[in-house]
Amino acid sequence: MADESNIAAKDAIRLLLALSPSTCDESVIRDVLGDRAGKSLSEVAQAFGVAAATVRHTWRRDGMPGDAKAKWFGYADILIWFLKRNNANAAARGVDEFTNRKRSAETRAAEAEALIKERKAEQVAGEYTATEVSASVISGSANSLRDGLMAIPREAKEYVGKKYQSDLETFLRTRIGGELTAFSERANSGIRAAAKLWRTENV
């Protein structure tokens, strides 16, 4: 049967943890728990609502107070130690998290700087072309293509009767001109969209 004093201690410990989990108000803890103590690690585990293995292998290793030979483990001392230990661990985690975030930000900045230098080097070497240059080249090529294709209507009208020559030339000029304009606009738009996506994913 569970020790009644241990059950009462367990309730008091739960109350103290709920009211003051991080401030470690030692005077309040000692007033509430007094000289209550466990005679074994199992009783400590029962009072604190944890597994006996946790107390035996983890808490004792981390410095939980108590005298095993005298079979006396003061609950007030243990609770004060427990809260201080938790506060220290939380502070260490906060420092580690800040350090990790700082290192991550520094790494991203270094990667971005290296990537920019790499792209500049590629551009100088002719391996990478700026968006504006690519768009200009495509636009110029499209204009040259347009000039060649627009000559077709003039040549094609010689193969039809005079009655249809004017209509055919107008139709071909309109259709070819429209398609070439659309091609140039789609190409330029596609290059800029691709460049924007690349910057988003790599910088």
What are the domain boundaries of the chain? 4-96, 129-203
The pLDDT tens digits of the residues spanning 186-196 come to 777 776 776 66
Whether 25 shows a pLDDT value over 50: the answer reads yes
Q: Which residues contact 191 (CB under 8 A, 6 or more apart)?
A: 131, 134, 135, 138
Q: Return the pLDDT at 2.
A: 46
The answer to whether 195 and 138 have CB atoms below 8 angstroms apart is no
Task: Take residue 44 and report the two structure tokens written for it.
Answer: 């400590």
Mean pLDDT, residues 134-142 taken together: 65
Mean pLDDT, residues 108-125 taken together: 65
- C-alpha 110: how far from chain center: 17
pTM, 2 dp: 0.43
- C-alpha 13: how far from chain center: 39
